[in-house]
Structure 1
Amino acid sequence: MRSELPKTIHLKDYRVPDYLIDETHLTFELFEDHSLVHAQLVLRRNPQAGPGLPPLVLDGQQLELLSLAMDDVPLGEADYLLTDSHLTLQPKRGEFVIDSSVRIHPERNTALEGLYKSSGMFCTQCEAEGFRRITFYLDRPDVMSKFTTTLSADKQAYPILLSNGNPIASGEEEDGRHWATWQDPFKKPAYLFALVAGDLWCIEDSFRTMSGRDVALRIYVEPENIGKLQHGMDSLKHSMRWDEEVYGREYDLDIFMIVAVNDFNMGAMENKGLNIFNSSCVLAHPDTATDAAHQRVEAVVAHEYFHNWSGNRVTCRDWFQLSLKEGFTVFRDAEFSADMNSRTVKRIEDVAFLRTQQFAEDAGPMAHPVRPDSYMEISNFYTLTIYEKGAEVLRMIHTLLGAEKFRQGSDLYFERHDGQAVTCDDFVKAMEDASGQDLTQFKRWYTQSGTPRLAVQDSYDAHAKTYTLTFRQSCPATPGQEHKQPFVIPVALGLLDTHGHELPLRLCGETEACGTSRVLAVTEAEQSFTFVDVPTHPLPSLLRGFSAPVKLSFPYGRDQLLFLMQHDSDGFNRWEAGQQLAVQVLQELVGQQQRSERLHLDRRLIEALRSVLADSALDPAMVAEMLSLPAEAYLAELSEVADIDAIHIAREFARREISRELFDLLWSRYQACREASRSTAYAADAAQIARRSLQNIALSYLMLAQSEEVLDACEEQFEHADNMTERLAALAVLVNSPFDAEKAGALAKFAEHFRNDALVMDQWFSVQAGCPLPGGLERVQELMRHPAFNLKNPNKVRALIGAFANQNHVNFHRADGAGYRFLADQVIALNALNPQIASRQLTPLTRWRKYDPTRQALMRGELERILASGELSSDVFEVVSKSLA
């Protein structure tokens, strides 16, 4: 067990750095069994830090100090204090230069932080605090410096040498080595430093900016993957154009580079001019990547590119402000994806993910505000709250101010703070100054944790022809925050009459109606709004487009939800009405199962889906989304006590009934989509993606009939599909079916064909890990012994262990606790290899309070076993200790 507790860092203790680093000159000598790093730092006393010359305390971890000098004077051991985490020395004047040399071991670095080797390639990951594993430095985001970097390595093994900025020199050395120097003209914090050395190929293109400059674009990859980069390049060019047109942001260097890496803890990293990507987020080809993977590549490429301004040119002052760059950039990439594809479907996908995953985080032991008050390990705060909820906060500002004022605010923000490390308050202040609106109360979204609840009631006065909506907001207690003040909640809404027509909206006191859809700002714990000139009792369409990340409750009846599905002009709310209808029906089935009653499905759900399937004018992507029942994870999140078994049985029963009742319609839509697929060359465009999504969900329903006809169709799709989207969907349908022989044959054939493609094998692992049929844990344990699995690779861990624990609820939550024991064993093993990945796998166990007393005890017991298992990393210790508190 730990001998000492990790230190807790508090926002209230922030103080400016004592010293600044104006210039950073780095030289790397890369060898197979070690690397040498020579650093020259040009420092000065920070004028904002006050008088005097306090000690200089540099961060450093796992560094072997070889030499140290100040202003060219060598320092001996008596001149400095060296610990496992810091190097302390005493400057003699306000401006000085530090030279140091250290030895590090990238080849041993399984934590994948700092400089490490991946598949024979040197690469870096420095966010959040990885740079201190490279050299001694002021490793904090508010210390910004201009970097010049020289790399030296064996030319045959590492012909490509890359770093941030622009290339300025290169040359040959003795013994077959070579060198290259890169210079970044823009100040940046150390977390944005990047280095890559390897035997890489690239594709090249160029982009002409709005001011007429030509920028060279390169995507580097290992030779065998060179044919999977065009979609990433197209996505990059689309992102660059979009950022110019929507935000007026032009790229600033002569070259923009992306490198694909197989071993990476995150999705990608926005290092200035040299983005390093998890290979899963940049490689895409129809034969090996699904439509979802193509869309993910497009979104992640955009996200990292957009960071060039929202994160790099303007960065965060401290890690408590992480959402300043991440929330803003997630909002930007979501809007980009919405413009590139279907805006409504994109919003549906984002909200479904938010409500299932981030809402659960808000309700758990790791709940924290968008701007946290404290942390033990910053890596644990790269959370859905920072990213997804942070993006929703930006979306609400956009909704409240309008697109024009929001753009003016972002322009002012970039102009005012270019080259600075700033705070969330600075961003909001720019929005206030540009719009003239006071956002003081709104900033509670940054400081208060938890998911607000918004209860709505209505009343209609037929004589006065007035309609009143009364809103009551509250927010549950979260760790460290017992009581919450009212938020500013923007509620986009419309009112429908009995024929489904939208009514003009005029509030009491207004002289004229403001259209048929508008935004109300709910700012009080209880607040009423009265509409006038309302001819009949309307049906409200509330929270259109999910205008705020809240849990909304309104006493809709099932017939009213059907009406909204058929008539609401807001595409998101049509889907939402269907989801809420399905939730009511499924919760009724759960109750029947718990009471041991015969299950009976409300036919209104059947008829609603029948009308959706029969509507040939409806976007196939929307049809597919509306056919998708609420996930088991979402149903569990809605439950006071999640009855995993009853939820699974109820949902599977509903799926079988839908299949039986709507078989002919499903079969007709499937055949039409499949025929179109056979006769059309693959393209990852919105129309084809929509068609394939409908085709595949129809197949998943049809297979529940267990007919030979459907089995033949599924096998035909598996065998003859010209793209991974259809092939993998057919494989998943087979894996989840009772056709054991056909399932085994398809799995073997798939693995044999793609055995040399690591990313495709990850999909093969995930399909099996997510299968809810009995024996799921044993299948996963067997797959861990497969030659393609490697516990040291984060993608493999997520594909198999993560997919099982997070998606396969009925098997993970087995009554005997075996699933919990399995996950705890993997966390203990990963803690020694890669603490970041270990802590992220813990999430399912942290939600133990959601389940029945028996499961609670089993899950808590595994958390206690992890805590007592030995020397825990700060990453794992923080999550476990807070979960048990």
Structure 2
Amino acid sequence: MRPEEPIAIRLEDYRPPDWLVDTVHLDIDLHPTEARVIATLKMRPNPDADGARAIVLDGDELKLSRITLDGKTLDPRAYVATPERLTIPRPPSGPITLEIETLLNPSTNTQLMGLYQSNGIYCTQCEAEGFRRITYFPDRPDVMAVYTTRIEADKAAAPILLANGNMTESGDIDNGRHFAVWHDPFPKPSYLFAMVGGDLAFIEDTFRTMSGRDVALKIYVEHGKAHLCDYAMDSLKRSMRWDEEVFGREYDLDIFMIVAVADFNMGAMENKGLNIFNDKYVLASPETATDADYASIEAIVAHEYFHNWTGNRITCRDWFQLCLKEGLTVFRDQEFSADQRSAALERIGDVRNLRAIQFTEDSGPLAHPVRPSMYREINNFYTPTIYEKGAEIIRMLRVMIGREDFRRGMDLYFDRHDGDAATIEQFIACFAEASKRDLTHFSQWYSQAGTPHVAAEGQWNAEAKTYRLDLVQNTLPTPGQPSKEPQVIPLAVALFDEQGRAMKTDEHLIVLDRASQSVEFRNIKSRPVLSINREFSAPIVLRTNATEEDTQVLAAHDTDSFNRWQAIQTLAMKWLVAHVRGAEANTAAPLLDALKNVLADRKLAPAFVAQALAMPTEGDIAGEIAKNVDPDAIFRARKALRGTLSEELRASLQAAYDTYAASRGPFNPDAKSAGERALKNAALDLLAANGDAKAIALAARQFADADNMTDRMAALAALMPHDIPEREQAFKALYDRFENDPLVIDKWLTMQAMVPEAATFDRIKALTEHKAFSFKNPNRVRALIGAFAGNPSQFNRPDGAGYRYLTETAVAIDPQNPQLAARLMGAFKTWRRLEPGRAAAAEAALKAVAKAPNLSRDLADIVGRALAAP
């Protein structure tokens, strides 16, 4: 039997809710197989709504036990209840009190949405539409209510009982049970509801706000893991202070809590006052966490905390406005990380990520606008476009109107819309008013999908001493949008002479808002070298008429760190693409010269040098080629380039390695120490690229002697591409030492899934039978199967076996966890750009999924969009 086609939800069909909910009182009696929820809803007709006044409440696999209206049992003929909906066709005309009792089975809730158990801990996940798995409710963001939650449980099994807001009452009751009551005074939508019950350890601290209030801070984890929470707590306190200083936002409750659980579909969730995290983004020690893990913990703790204002106090009117909270909050966490670490390095890292995941999404069958006009399954729109591209739009807005007007616009937004479920139009209107600018055209970034391509051609007129810059923009068709309008693109520009000296003391901002336009610079006495899109001022694909010599000048002298790094990437990409296309006589000399200069420049931060040494990824190269992509040819070209760098830069790489290996002291996760480790390990990675015996021995020794996970994993990464005994010995040693640490086992699984050799496919299948792996845990699945899907040469096997394996795995997971299954299928977002043989195999695998019976809405939606005509 085929499931019914998911219903298309359209932005143009939005209408206000017929009924509003003023207060929600939840009485939750926890039990592993028969939890009882009594929801008391004080409701009233919405004066802004039109049409029918029937009460229609959402459900999902619910079992109704009883229902009363204004204290009286409702006649069964007066309502219709199904697992998916509760309808009261003819309710009273005025305010009512509705009491609904439902029964749940948390122990069998493998979807990890609604109320479920994770290692014996009761927890909830309600975004986007999980609250309807707890009780019948108008489960939409624009229904905001004040919640009071009473939780009751066996005290021995769940001594900790938490919910949103402040605790108002607690105590013991009969039969070894106890209760706690939590009240959240701030109206919120149902997706921000949270509850936790279990036997948990915790660490605690306090934070004094800018107005002098003391806020209790607590992080709850499984027993035996409390000592791993210190960095998360430190990150939280720094986030709270930063939000006060930079955005003027003070925390509003008496307590802020984080709970870390092992089974979680997402990274973390910003429930008001009670954030629930995947434990990989809370737990850290030098022994088990890498520098990248520490940076992620810092950023994600900040992100979820910043949601208190951009997402909670001001939420989104409907799910089409999702970027209003997510894109804005990503921008805020990026700014926080830039201030805590390095603005230049944060920008490079953010753009690397944007290009790797969002640009590829924009160029494939899953492309969609930052604010989509239609969706069938909202879970599938928690995408890089919503998050990362949404953040880039905010950044462009600040570039265009300036930092002062941007801050005024943010202040106005907070003042005007506190307590609202807002829209993109309302958000942009605040900045238009603050800056006194018409931002109507700029707002098109939210409605038009695709990455703009900009061609920039400069012509110097020696006689007139002018430099004319001709700009042309074009955006390729995307699903549902065959033709595109010009975007508003802010381009930060500077000019240098051929010796790398700045020709103008100021940076220019050019706003390209037409299909083509020209800008003329005067009194330019010598041929200039153009530095454009500085700090990546706009998320575009840029092409210029710069010569290779121009690029070398920028690689050596550009005062903008991002564009200096970009110039090095451009030199590398030119070599790589030429080799993929068979131009093997192409020389790497310009790139080698640039990297020698960077390695010799002692004024550069080690972290920047490490980024410069990291060559474009296989995904980057595929994106540059764009059509008829052969992953094997790309792998060979990149391997050849790394081998060339290994040979030609060996002395400089060895010197860099020795310098920072010798300076090793006690581990510190701060930016300076992390940058030094990054350069040391980037040098080791290139030294070992050719399998040189001395370098392999050096990597094996570093693995054995490492006193921190960063150096240990870097050494394993250097060994990983080579089929040698040292690699297998390191894999075994890592498992033997950390077999009881799930987060390290995730690393162990991922590294094996990324081995670039044919035997990896069989290795993956064998590892699914390993006792350390479980298809029921999203982290394990992402670590192994998800990582394999990110192994370009092996997932894209010419025989199509990688595609079939992933799709078969997704179909098998789908009945248990539809979100996880659908997200695995994101690996097919670029299948159309593959060479014909692989593209045909990928299409066949997708079509096999489409024919499978009883697909979830999540999986059916992703597959349908992936197969839709381009």
Q: CA deviation at 1:53?
A: 6.2
> Which aligned pairs between 1:121-132 and structure 2 lie closer than 5 A?
121-132=121-132
- In the superposition, the TM-score normalised over structure 1's length comes to 0.97
> Which aligned pairs between 1:596-611 and structure 2 lie closer than 5 A?
601-611=587-597
- CA distance in 1 between counterparts of 2:546 and 2:617 reads 21
Give the match for residue 644 of structure 2.
Answer: 657
CA contact 1:126–1:190 (8 Å) conserved in 2: yes
- CA distance in 2 between counterparts of 1:14 and 1:53 reads 15
Give the match for residue 738 of structure 1.
Answer: 723
Question: Is 1:76–2:63 an aligned residue pair?
Answer: no
Q: CA deviation at 1:736?
A: 2.1
Q: Deviations over 1:539-591 (max 9, x none)?
A: 11000000001111002222211110111100000000000110001111112
Q: Deviations over 1:351-394 (max 9, x none)?
A: 01111210110111111111000000000000000000000000
Question: Is 1:581–2:564 an aligned residue pair?
Answer: no
Q: Deviations over 1:687-737 (max 9, x none)?
A: 111111111111111113434432332222112211100011112222222
**Counterpart selection for 1:567 from 534, 551, 557:** 557
Question: Matched residue of 1:184: which SS?
Answer: strand
- CA distance in 2 between counterparts of 1:241 and 1:23 reads 32
- CA distance in 1 between counterparts of 2:527 and 2:465 reads 9
Give the match for residue 510 of structure 1.
Answer: none
Question: Matched residue of 2:43: which SS?
Answer: strand
Give 5+ residue unaligned stretches, structure 2: none
Give the match for residue 671 of structure 1.
Answer: 658
CA contact 1:470–1:526 (8 Å) conserved in 2: yes
Give the match for residue 724 of structure 1.
Answer: 709
Q: CA deviation at 1:600?
A: 5.4
RMSD of aligned residue pairs (Cα, Å): 1.1
CA contact 2:361–2:829 (8 Å) conserved in 1: no
Distance 1:171 1:749, change over 3 A: same
CA contact 2:575–2:586 (8 Å) conserved in 1: no
Question: Is 1:781–2:765 an aligned residue pair?
Answer: yes
CA contact 2:165–2:183 (8 Å) conserved in 1: yes
Question: Matched residue of 2:211: which SS?
Answer: coil
**Counterpart selection for 2:801 from 810, 818, 829:** 818
- CA distance in 1 between counterparts of 2:141 and 2:692 reads 60
CA contact 1:53–1:92 (8 Å) conserved in 2: no
Question: Matched residue of 2:324: which SS?
Answer: helix
**Counterpart selection for 1:615 from 601, 612, 630:** 601
- CA distance in 2 between counterparts of 1:541 and 1:704 reads 32
Q: CA deviation at 1:845?
A: 2.3
Q: CA deviation at 1:844?
A: 2.0
Q: CA deviation at 1:846?
A: 3.6
Question: Is 1:467–2:451 an aligned residue pair?
Answer: no
Give the match for residue 853 of structure 1.
Answer: 836
> Which aligned pairs between 1:394-433 and structure 2 lie closer than 5 A?
394-433=394-433
CA contact 1:601–1:657 (8 Å) conserved in 2: no
Question: Is 1:641–2:628 an aligned residue pair?
Answer: yes
Q: Deviations over 1:788-818 (max 9, x none)?
A: 1111111111111111112x11111111111
Q: CA deviation at 1:669?
A: 1.0
Equivalent residue letter for 2:635: H
Question: Matched residue of 1:145: which SS?
Answer: strand
Equivalent residue letter for 1:551: V
Give the match for residue 158 of structure 1.
Answer: 158
Q: CA deviation at 1:614?
A: 2.0
Question: Is 1:794–2:778 an aligned residue pair?
Answer: yes
Give 5+ residue unaligned stretches, structure 1: 505-514
- In the superposition, the TM-score normalised over structure 2's length comes to 0.98
Q: CA deviation at 1:599?
A: 6.1
Equivalent residue letter for 1:301: V
Q: CA deviation at 1:601?
A: 4.0
Give the match for residue 758 of structure 1.
Answer: 742
Question: Matched residue of 2:480: which SS?
Answer: coil
- CA distance in 1 between counterparts of 2:783 and 2:662 reads 32
Q: CA deviation at 1:875?
A: 0.5
Question: Matched residue of 2:779: which SS?
Answer: helix
Give the match for residue 748 of structure 1.
Answer: 732
Question: Is 1:301–2:301 an aligned residue pair?
Answer: yes
CA contact 2:3–2:855 (8 Å) conserved in 1: no
Equivalent residue letter for 1:146: V
Q: Greater shift after overlay, 244-253 or 692-701?
A: 692-701
- CA distance in 1 between counterparts of 2:336 and 2:865 reads 37
- CA distance in 1 between counterparts of 2:199 and 2:587 reads 59
Give the match for residue 516 of structure 1.
Answer: 506
Question: Matched residue of 1:58: which SS?
Answer: strand
Question: Matched residue of 1:545: which SS?
Answer: helix
Question: Matched residue of 2:187: which SS?
Answer: coil
Equivalent residue letter for 2:771: P
**Counterpart selection for 1:525 from 515, 521, 526:** 515
CA contact 1:331–1:392 (8 Å) conserved in 2: yes
**Counterpart selection for 1:879 from 854, 862, 865:** 862
Equivalent residue letter for 2:508: R
- CA distance in 2 between counterparts of 1:461 and 1:863 reads 55
Equivalent residue letter for 2:675: A
Aligned length: 866
- CA distance in 1 between counterparts of 2:602 and 2:691 reads 27
CA contact 1:371–1:386 (8 Å) conserved in 2: yes
Equivalent residue letter for 1:435: S
**Counterpart selection for 1:706 from 678, 691, 701:** 691
CA contact 2:8–2:374 (8 Å) conserved in 1: yes
Give the match for residue 139 of structure 1.
Answer: 139
Q: Deviations over 1:154-211 (max 9, x none)?
A: 1011000000000000111211111000000000000000000011011110111100
CA contact 2:491–2:538 (8 Å) conserved in 1: yes
Give the match for residue 374 of structure 1.
Answer: 374
Q: Greater shift after overlay, 359-368 or 1-10?
A: 1-10
- CA distance in 2 between counterparts of 1:779 and 1:870 reads 29
- CA distance in 1 between counterparts of 2:594 and 2:23 reads 65
Question: Matched residue of 2:294: which SS?
Answer: helix
- CA distance in 2 between counterparts of 1:326 and 1:307 reads 8
- CA distance in 2 between counterparts of 1:550 and 1:864 reads 33
- CA distance in 2 between counterparts of 1:109 and 1:853 reads 41
Question: Matched residue of 1:629: which SS?
Answer: coil
- CA distance in 1 between counterparts of 2:675 and 2:98 reads 58
- CA distance in 1 between counterparts of 2:314 and 2:249 reads 12
Question: Matched residue of 2:92: which SS?
Answer: coil
Equivalent residue letter for 1:812: F
- CA distance in 1 between counterparts of 2:587 and 2:749 reads 34
Give the match for residue 312 of structure 1.
Answer: 312
CA contact 1:45–1:53 (8 Å) conserved in 2: no
Equivalent residue letter for 1:572: F
Question: Is 1:63–2:62 an aligned residue pair?
Answer: yes
- CA distance in 1 between counterparts of 2:837 and 2:577 reads 22
Question: Matched residue of 1:28: which SS?
Answer: strand
CA contact 2:62–2:84 (8 Å) conserved in 1: no
- CA distance in 2 between counterparts of 1:544 and 1:431 reads 23
Q: CA deviation at 1:432?
A: 0.6
